[in-house]
Structure formats: C-alpha cells, structure tokens
Amino acid sequence: MAWRSVFVSFDNLTEPSCGLLRFQLSEILRRKSTNIRLSLTPKTPSYSYFHWMKINTGSTSSGGFMEIIVLVIILTATTTATMEAAQAKARCKSQCGNLSVPYPFGTEDGCFMDTQFFIKCDESVEPPKALLQDSTIDVLHIDLDAGELRILNWAGSDCYNSSGSSFHFSTWLRSGLYNISSTKNKITAIGCDTYAFITGSIGQDYATGCLSLCDEISDVINGSCSGIGCCQASIPRGVRDYEISLASYYNHTRVLSFNPCSHAFVVEEGEYEFSASHLNNSGEDWKLPMILDWTIGDHSCSEAKKNPETYACKENAICREPENGNGYLCKCGDGFQGNPYLSNGCQDIDECETLRPCSSTCHNTFGGFYCSCPKGYEGDGRRDGSGCSPIVNHHNWKLQITQTAIALVWFDEGMGLITFVDGIFKDYESCQARALRQVHEEEEEENMNQMWDEVEEIEKDRQAGRQNRRSTVKMDKFA
C-alpha cells in the first residue's frame, strides 16, 4: 500500500495545546481508519515549540485526505483557543514570540504574581525573545503542571593551539529563587584532555565534576559519555547556582590534531547526544536547554492554606508539594483543565466529547463523567471496561430447564432414570456455557441438588403409582 504524507505548519501551537491536539487527533483517526498514521515532530530544534503535523494515510482518496486536513485545522483552532484563553491574566499578554506566558508569569507590571515570575519580552528582535527577568537567558517553555522552566544557557569552553591557550569562556548561572533540577539535568563535559569542576553556594554548598580522556579519536564511541571523550555527573539536590571551571593536563598538545577544545555545560537529560565530531567544535555561541524548578513561596500546602488571601490555588485546584525544594504548586483537579492560579481558571472537561469513553450513553458531570447502558442491558458501559451486554434472566432459564426435566422423567417410563438425568445434566451444562458463560459454583450445586430432590420425589410417586396398578390387575384376575 502506498502511503501519502502531508505536513501542516502550526507556528503558534504551544506544547500543552500540542499534547491535547495529538491525543484528540489520535483518537479520531483511530476510529476512522486503521490506514492512517499520525506523528507530531518539531519543526525546529527540540527546544523550540514550533510544530509540524505529519499525517500518513493509506487512502488514495483526495476527498478523504482533505477531510483529515480540515479536521486538523478545526481541532487546532479549538484546542489552541481553549488552552490560550485560560493561560494569562485578564488584559495581559499571553504570548512573547514563540513562548506562551501563563500566570503566575507575566511580561508587564500587574500581570505576574511577583518579581520571581517576571518574563522580559524583548520586542527589538523578530520574533520577540522571552528572557528570564532582566537577564540574557532565553526562556523556551513554562510548564504549569510540572513547575518547570525550560531555558537556554551557554556552554563553557577551554581551547588551545600550538602556541598555548587560544580561547577560554566560563559559564555560570545564579537562578535566584529557582532550583536547578537535579532529576532532569546532567553536568556534561567533552574532550580528550579534560576535567571539569562545578561548584555552587546558593541553596547549599557543593562541588562535583567529571574527567574525560582519550588518546585517539577512534577510541571514542558516539552516544557514550562514560569518560572516553565525554563524561557526565549528576546535579546535587536543592542547588540554585553553578559555576563551571575547565582545565587540561597537557593543554591538549597530545590530541591537538582532533581535539583542540574542552567543553562543559549543564543540559537537560536526553537533549544532548555525544558525537566524535564535537571534539573539533570551537564551542563559540553554543547554547543548550536545561530545566529550572519553580514553586510558589517557601511554605508547605498546609501552611499556605492558613492564609486564604495569599493562597495561590483557586477554585477546583489542588495543592501539591514538589520533590525538590520548598514551596508548593497548584494543579487543576481530576476532571478539570486550565490555569489553577487564576480565578475560575480550572474549567470542567467534557470527557464525553474529548475522550469518548463510553460504548453506549455518556453523561458528563462537574469534574467527571459516567456511562450507562440502555434498558435490557447491563455492564459499566465503558470502552475500556465490560461495556454493555444483554441481561439474561438466570432464574427463569433455570426454572424452564427444571420443569422440562421433570416432565420428561414423568412421561418417559421406559428410560433408565440415572442415565436420563445424567443426560439432562450434560445438556444443562452445555446450555449454561452458551447462555450464561459463567455461573457461580455454589449456585450451580444448589440448583443441581434441588433438581435431584425433585426428580427423586417424582420417581417415588411413579413407583408408587406403578405398584398400585399391579395390585389392581391381580385383584381383577381373582374377581
């Protein structure tokens, strides 16, 4: 089958909108056809939230193909409008260039919760660039649910030539109230005559680092940072600053032909893949993404709730405490979506429309939903559950079987009782498997015992009746 593809550009599609759109489209395309494939990939490097929608379909019908494209456009408009409407504070800008700026962050006075959440929007460039407070640090993404900022920061470099040191650039970060994520970042150094130190004193005093050596470029393995050409170390928990220092044992004289520079940086885990070609990189203008953790204040949830005037979690939102650092975060409760830091920011999700979870009738409720089956059917009504199936009247069915067995035993005197009843039970079990599929063992045993009792009573009555007929015959003969 020949698969066809199309790319559709969404320049203003933010990552939260992108995730919801991906889910909605996948569900719809899954129901429409098995010959449709959907993937969402970055249009530019992974730290930019421009997106392309790529659709592959086995259908050769241009009409069907265009139907999917129209569906994408409609869903994108709806999803983006829904997400953006709940993000920013009223009468505040919700966008700076490619960055969606949700409250508690803001770009103007009166639009952010406090100075910690100020985003400077540099409109002197096109597109406008979002910067962290008054620094030169690029802000790439703000994650309300995770309490994370994705930023770009410089790599440090230490370069040499045949005359000695040729270029040196140190990199550092003082994040103020933000923790440098210890779970989502790695300290990374590359070089074949390299040792890197990272130190800090805000949050807690610490020092760590790693060593990377190699003799030949053939020694290094692409994708590996085990100490040969590339090394990595973990970020301590609870730190808010770092400064990286680079040094060399032999000024790279032994490896100058293929590795004139050492480099070191803090990078989001999974966003850097080592390559042997990086050993010959000058390192100038080299920026990489990293994650900062943010929270509201420095109080726990229980302490923050004591002061309703400053408590940041609004209606239908829940408070949670982060794994790293002090303070708290807000999140819309189950069945709601939007911005938990804005009044009425958490809106009810109509799961019946967005998830289509029911195989029969779906009922949306405030903060949830439930499924129901039509009259004459039973089950939970869910697509991922038991669904709906016809109700079988167990008692009536068993009564009919019992009455049939009694009638047959009464009128068929020539059949052996035990053989006949055994056959009845076999037929009973066969019908049971087809009609009920599952009958509780105790209930089955009780029904069988009851049937035996009734059959035995019938047999006693039949034997008594036969004996009476024989006596009557004998009396007639002697009359």
Q: Which two tokens stand for residue 130?
A: 């979002």
Is pLDDT at 168 greater than 80 in this prediction?
yes
Considering only CA atoms, which of 144, 133, 141, 128 is closest in space to residue 106? 133
Please choose, from the candidates 22, 11, 7, the residue with its C-alpha nearest in 3D space to the C-alpha of residue 55. Answer: 7
Pair of tokens at residue 70:
């129209």
- CATH code of 4-85, in short, is 3.30.70
Asked if 152 and 266 touch (Cβ cutoff 8 Å), the reply is no
180 vs 177: CA distance, rounded Å: 10
Does the pLDDT of residue 228 top 70, yes or no? Answer: yes
Stronger pLDDT, 43 or 101, i.e. the higher one: 101
Angle formed at CA 458 by CA 457 and CA 464, multiple of 5 degrees:
90
Give the CA distances from residue 91 to residues 49, 78, 213, 267, in Å, rounded to whole numbers and listed in that order. Answer: 24, 21, 56, 35
- What would the CATH number be for the domain defined by 148-293? 2.60.120
> Dihedral angle at the C-alpha atoms of 98, 99, 100, 105, nearest 10 degrees?
-160
Helix (H) or strand (E) holding 82: helix 62-85
Q: What are phi and psi of 87, to 5 degrees?
A: -85, -60
Instruction: State pLDDT tens for residues 331-367.
Output: 999 999 999 999 999 999 999 998 899 999 999 998 8
| Cβ neighbours of 229 (radius 10 Å) | 27
Determine the average pLDDT of the residues in 187-193: 96
Instruction: Tell me the pLDDT tens digit for each residue of 430-442.
Output: 555 555 555 455 5
**pLDDT score at 33:** 47
Residue 446: left (phi > 0), alpha (psi -120 to 50), or beta?
Answer: alpha
Q: How far is CA 108 from the centre of its chain?
A: 33
The yes-or-no verdict on residue 118 having pLDDT over 60 is yes
148-293 shares the fold of 4-85:
no
User: What pTM was computed for the model?
Assistant: 0.64
DSSP secondary structure letters along 353-378: HHT--BSSEEEEETTEEEEE--TTEE
The residue written with tokens 């009476």 in the block is: 468
Domain ranges of the chain: 4-85, 148-293, 300-348, 351-390, 399-471
Task: Express as a percent the part of the chain with pLDDT over 70.
Answer: 65
> Per residue in 286-296, pLDDT tens?
899 999 999 99
Give 13 or 194, the one with higher predicted confidence: 194
Whether the per-residue pLDDT at 30 is higher than 80: the answer is no
Stretch 251-280: mean pLDDT, rounded? 95
Pick from 32, 66, 86: nearest CA to 356: 32
User: Alpha-carbon distance 243 to 377, whole Å?
Assistant: 67
What's the half-sphere exposure (Cβ side, CA atoms, 13 Å) at 1? 11
As a whole number of angstroms, the distance between CA 404 and CA 416 comes to 17
Beta-bridge partner residues of 41: 52
